[in-house]
Structure 1
């Protein structure tokens, strides 16, 4: 593996402002040095935030993103900035969760991807949103997302 697979990255190793919106966010990718080897990658964002598009009130979620890379890996700082760009973005839980999954699929063309959005209650109702690209590939261990359903204080 050589350093030149990282030469086109524009955000890693430099101060980078949080994008103002998901549309402005730049998701960067690098060639997968283990392309052709089946393995799963997991990112967890336990403090994801967005805004209700009608009230402007904050919404909070625990996101779990699993993917089986093809030729590309997502660069993690760009993913962090992309997720952070939702902080001032108004959209329903379903739209946020699925939009993140679709944007990653568009950028990476992974072998397989799933995202679980475990949203904290607002108005007394938690909403969990799930998206995946299809059946998980055979022969690759993909663990349970490990997030329990909302139980309140009990």
Structure 2
């Protein structure tokens, strides 16, 4: 066994890892892109995302869709799941939460391109959809529609 730790190995995968107390304390884990140099898109869907209203403290619910074209690294999915779960006790407006998640991933992972769609369920009768991306997708990237319909109620 080596005295040096392998920093490219996932930190959380296969380990019992508690949910972080806040997004600020959550650690996102990145590993080398196994297809570096290839243009492809990765999609994560979190249909049961929750955070808290910063005014009332009541829960807010969203369906998040994160699409990205990897650069040199990819985000390890368990660390992303733990990061997203850390918002359960976090107070923030829909816009701040959605854009903040996208910006953190873009800043830390440095993908070729990233977009996030936050499809928030109605509170007070108004659904809010929030979209953010790093820029235009790279030429030749297949970036399908996120597939989440606008909220139409029960009707």
TM-score norm. by structure 2 comes to 0.94
Q: C-alpha displacement at 1:57, in angstroms?
A: 0.2
Residues 72-111 of structure 1 aligned to structure 2 (within 5 Å)? 72-111=73-112
Q: Aligned equivalents of 1:92 and 1:46: distance in 2?
A: 18
Q: Distance in 2 between matches of 1:70 and 1:151?
A: 37
| Secondary structure of 2:96's aligned partner | helix
Q: Which residue of 1 aligns with 2:123?
A: 122
Distance 1:72 1:5, change over 3 A: farther
Query: Aligned partners of 1:101, 1:85: CA distance in 2, in Å?
Result: 15
Cα RMSD for the two superposed structures: 1.4
Aligned-pair distance for 1:107? 1.4
- Residue 46, structure 1, aligned to residue 39, structure 2: no
- Consecutive unaligned residues of structure 1, counting only runs of 5 or more, are none
TM-fit CA distance, 1:140? 1.3
Task: Show structure 1 runs of 4+ deviating over 2 A.
Answer: 4-9
| TM-score, normalised by the number of residues in structure 1 | 0.95
- SS in structure 1 of the partner of residue 140 of structure 2: coil
Describe the shift of the 1:43–1:6 C-alpha distance in structure 2 as closer, same or farther (beyond 3 A): farther
- Kindly provide the CA deviation profile for residues 98-129 of structure 1, in whole angstroms up to 9, marking residues without a partner as x: 01001101111000000000000000000000
The question of whether the paired residues in 2 share the 8 Å contact of 1:119 and 1:127 is answered with yes
| Secondary structure of residue in 1 paired with 2:79 | helix
1:1-154 map, 5 Å: 7-154=8-155
- Offset, 1:7: 4.8
Q: 1:27 touches 1:74 (CA, 8 Å); kept in 2?
A: yes
